[in-house]
Amino acid sequence: MSNIKAGAYREGEQIRFRVWAPQTKQMNLICEHAGPETFQMEPAGQGYFNLNLAWGDEPCRYRYDPDSRGPFPDPASHFQPEGVHGYSQVVDHSRFPWTDGEWRGRAFEDLILYELHVGTFTPEGTFEAIVPRLAALAELGINAIELMPVSEFPGSRNWGYDGVFPYSVHSAYGGPGQLKVLVDAAHGLGISVFLDIVINHIGPEGNYLGDFGPYFSDKYSTPWGKAINFDGEWSDGVRDYFSDLILFWSEYYHLDGLRLDAIHEIFDKGAFSFWELVHQKLDAHQPYSGRRFHLIAESDLNSPRVVKPVQIGGMGFDAQWLDDFHHALYVLLDENGRERHIDFGTIGQLAKAYKDGFVHSGGYVQFRKRKHGTSSAGIRGASFVAFNLNHDQAGNRAGGERLSQLVSVARQKVAMAALMLSPYVPMLFMGEEYGEDTPFFFFVSHTDPKLIRAVIEGRESEFKDFGDGQKPRNPQDEDTFLCSKIQWQKRSEAPYTDLLDWTQTLIALRQTHTALRNFEKDGISVDVLTDRALLLKRISNDEREMLYCYINFSDETFTFLPPDGPHWHLILDSQRNVRTETWCIDGPGVKVFSNVPDVIF
């Protein structure tokens, strides 16, 4: 635990308050207890103010008043039960009855990730409501859920990327206690829990950080507002605030890892990088936790440095999202795909995505109007998270369309197989496993009329560039949010059960076949057979098992020659109900052959 960690923590019969405000002369603590009581805090050096306060078992709600400019909520608040403008409330983390003492987490390469939005995953939209659905996910083969951001944001509806209290668990989802219930229940079923967090900016409404100190930088900017001050004057306190945040989720919520949003918008020119500081603290913390803790990056840099160790100048992430895989695959599934991804469209690009990782690795990219990226050839497959769908891919379409609304079931099966047969850690988006066909829109619930208008106009302006004339839905309208809720019961109804069974079979195949457990790039090769078909070859580490995966994206019948060598067994066929010869695929489909016998699906 950092000895300069900010926030309010119960320690026995006392509450220890600590706040960073380096340019403040006097800091008062205002506690609500049969009326407000004011306490003057003591300067503690390095810009911090401390106060240890005797307090009984009753809840403690409080605010800070720096130089009589407040009062404001605690920047490191753990709970905002009245929303972003209300009192902060102390959370007694020691009282939660954890039952996951034997849980040690999973190796990253073993994960089957499942991204979900808490508010739209169930009718209730709470952590507690997710718990009864975990068993079905475990039965499917999902062993890790990734929650979209849950830090306190304005209102009750939001993707979470407008959060303004990074340490505070959103009140409408159930708050800190319910999140712990969810994590504890998931671990009991063998499911890891990851959380998406945002440290590249802070949302606009309810953002009080600037009232306490220089959290923000004028040297840089992000598409969503002011950049965080990671390398300017007074940045030591800012760096501690955000590096301690990463440990906080492991220590107090037993999370198995974090996904960090848009790290390319985190700017730091310091000699000792922010990522070195993070790993210094994680390395010191891990022996005490006894659990694995993984970091995933979202980055559009196309740089292997993201997943290289900090000791050699990298950022030290376990893995990063692989957008190039999605783009290369999607344009082959949907003939309209190039309208959104103008630099993709050939089968050779998908072959490169399978073999190397980054498709854009130094060449000219029309979308960016410059050269982009560098080679990731040789980087282990487990250093990438691949997907066919995520919140961005659906929510940043005017109609919120999922892949299931854009392509046929046959092509959805091809997409799922292409993902699960890849040498990358796969991730599904909630409902994708059965072909959920409700949209997933972008939604907010701000209270500031000017901000609401700015968000609406910003979305409309953004979609003018796509030229299809479709106007995005009003993100502030509650119906936009309600229409985005998945319909869980569909997974047990026809025709959705067909894709669900297919997904379950693919996950089982991935977890049981040694050739699909090899994440080294020398265990994969790709042959482009036509401009719409390829052969993906996977070989186990011991070279005893080989898989030949034929994938056809064409509507035409694709006929191929049997592979040379040992006797081959057809173990997977997406067209099992269609009468076709062994060595052909009638339209979009997948066939997988193994030199080891198995039951055909």
pLDDT digits (tens, 9 = 90+) for 438-465: 999 999 999 999 999 999 998 988 887 6
Structural domain includes residue 510 = no
Collapsing DSSP to helix, strand or coil, 89 comes out as strand
Average pLDDT rounded to a whole number, residues 162-181: 98
C-alpha torsion 506→511→514→520, nearest 10? 90
Residues 347 and 446 grouped into a single domain = yes
| Helix (H), strand (E), coil (C) string for 557-593 | EEECCCCCCCCCEEEEECCCCCCCCCCEEECCEEEEE
What residues contact 91, with CB distance under 8 A and at least 6 apart? 78, 79, 176
Flag whether pLDDT at 467 surpasses 80: no
Tell me how far apart the alpha carbons of residues 132 and 117 are, in angstroms, rounded to a whole number: 16
Collapsing DSSP to helix, strand or coil, 505 comes out as helix
What is the CATH classification number for the domain harbouring 583? 2.60.40.1180
The answer to whether 567 is a known ligand-binding residue is no
Collapsing DSSP to helix, strand or coil, 48 comes out as strand
pLDDT of residue 216: 98
What residues contact 106, with CB distance under 8 A and at least 6 apart? 143, 144, 192, 256, 292
Q: Dump pLDDT digits (tens) for 519-529.
A: 999 999 999 99
Tell me how far apart the alpha carbons of residues 116 and 53 are, in angstroms, rounded to a whole number: 39
Residues 500 and 577 grouped into a single domain = no
Structural domain includes residue 515 = no
The answer to whether 244 is a known ligand-binding residue is no
Beta strand pairing status for 319-321 and 294-297?
parallel
The answer to whether 267 is a known ligand-binding residue is no
The answer to whether 391 is a known ligand-binding residue is yes
C-alpha torsion 99→100→102→107, nearest 10? 170
Q: pTM for the full model?
A: 0.96
Residues 343 and 473 grouped into a single domain = yes
Catalytic residues: 261, 298
Tell me how far apart the alpha carbons of residues 547 and 141 are, in angstroms, rounded to a whole number: 21
Tell me how far apart the alpha carbons of residues 117 and 185 are, in angstroms, rounded to a whole number: 18
pLDDT of residue 147: 98
What residues contact 30, with CB distance under 8 A and at least 6 apart? 36, 37, 38, 39, 62, 63, 64, 65, 70, 71
Flag whether pLDDT at 578 surpasses 80: no
pLDDT of residue 190: 98
Residues 568 and 429 grouped into a single domain = no
Flag whether pLDDT at 4 surpasses 70: no
Task: Answer for the pair 530, 554: CB distance below 8 angstroms, yes or no.
Answer: yes
Residues 581 and 476 grouped into a single domain = no
Residues 554 and 406 grouped into a single domain = no
pLDDT of residue 308: 97
pLDDT of residue 600: 53
To the nearest 10 degrees (0 to 180), the angle between helices 323-333 and 409-420 is: 150
Domain C-terminal end among 69, 95, 121: 95
Task: Answer for the pair 164, 207: CB distance below 8 angstroms, yes or no.
Answer: yes
Flag whether pLDDT at 95 surpasses 50: yes
Flag whether pLDDT at 3 surpasses 90: no
Domain containing 56 equals: 7-95
Residues 265 and 135 grouped into a single domain = yes
Residue 83 to residues 167, 237, 447, 451, 514: CA-CA distances in angstroms? Answer: 14, 25, 11, 17, 50
Residues 339 and 247 grouped into a single domain = yes
What is the CATH classification number for the domain harbouring 180? 3.20.20.80
Residues 501 and 541 grouped into a single domain = no
Ranking 9-13, 265-269, 343-347 by mean pLDDT, the lowest is 9-13
Flag whether pLDDT at 1 surpasses 50: no
Residue 395, CB-side half-sphere exposure with 13 Å CA sphere: 22
Domain C-terminal end among 72, 95, 118: 95
The answer to whether 326 is a known ligand-binding residue is yes
Tell me how far apart the alpha carbons of residues 7 and 97 are, in angstroms, rounded to a whole number: 22
Residue whose structure tokens are 């998945």 = 486
Ranking 227-231, 537-541, 580-584 by mean pLDDT, the lowest is 580-584
Average pLDDT rounded to a whole number, residues 527-546: 96
Q: Dump pLDDT digits (tens) for 55-74.
A: 888 899 999 999 999 999 99
Structural domain includes residue 182 = yes
What is the CATH classification number for the domain harbouring 63? 2.60.40.10
Flag whether pLDDT at 601 surpasses 80: no
Structural domain includes residue 478 = yes
Buried b (16+ CB within 10 A) or exposed e, 513-536: bbbbbbbebebbebeebeebbbbb
Collapsing DSSP to helix, strand or coil, 241 comes out as helix
Structural domain includes residue 599 = no
Confidence bin at 581 (pLDDT 50/70/90): confident
Flag whether pLDDT at 148 surpasses 70: yes
pLDDT of residue 24: 98
Mean pLDDT of the chain: 95
Tell me how far apart the alpha carbons of residues 443 and 455 are, in angstroms, rounded to a whole number: 10
Tokens of 242: 């955000």
Domain C-terminal end among 95, 128, 159: 95
Which helix (H) or strand (E) element contains residue 506?
helix 496-512
The answer to whether 319 is a known ligand-binding residue is no
Average pLDDT rounded to a whole number, residues 166-186: 98
Residues 181 and 286 grouped into a single domain = yes
Average pLDDT rounded to a whole number, residues 76-82: 97
Which helix (H) or strand (E) element contains residue 538?
strand 533-539
Ranking 63-77, 100-114, 339-353, 460-474 by mean pLDDT, the lowest is 460-474
Task: Answer for the pair 217, 267: CB distance below 8 angstroms, yes or no.
Answer: yes
Q: Dump pLDDT digits (tens) for 223-278.
A: 998 999 999 999 999 999 999 999 999 999 999 999 999 999 999 999 999 999 99
The answer to whether 130 is a known ligand-binding residue is no
Structural domain includes residue 166 = yes
**Domain total in the chain:** 3
Residue whose structure tokens are 């497959």 = 381
The answer to whether 392 is a known ligand-binding residue is yes
The answer to whether 527 is a known ligand-binding residue is no
Q: Dump pLDDT digits (tens) for 479-494.
A: 999 999 999 999 999 9
Q: Dump pLDDT digits (tens) for 381-434.
A: 999 999 999 999 999 999 999 999 999 999 999 999 999 999 999 999 999 999
Structural domain includes residue 250 = yes
Average pLDDT rounded to a whole number, residues 346-372: 97
Structural domain includes residue 101 = no
Residues 57 and 180 grouped into a single domain = no
Q: Dump pLDDT digits (tens) for 493-513.
A: 999 999 999 999 999 999 999
Share of the chain above pLDDT 90, in %: 90
The answer to whether 367 is a known ligand-binding residue is no
Region for residue 105 given its phi and psi (left: phi exceeds 0; alpha: psi -120 to 50; beta: otherwise): left
pLDDT of residue 566: 78
Residues 565 and 472 grouped into a single domain = no
The answer to whether 366 is a known ligand-binding residue is no
The answer to whether 259 is a known ligand-binding residue is yes
Burial class (CB in 10 A: 0-12, 13-18, 19+), 392: middle
The answer to whether 262 is a known ligand-binding residue is yes
Q: Dump pLDDT digits (tens) for 213-222.
A: 999 999 999 9
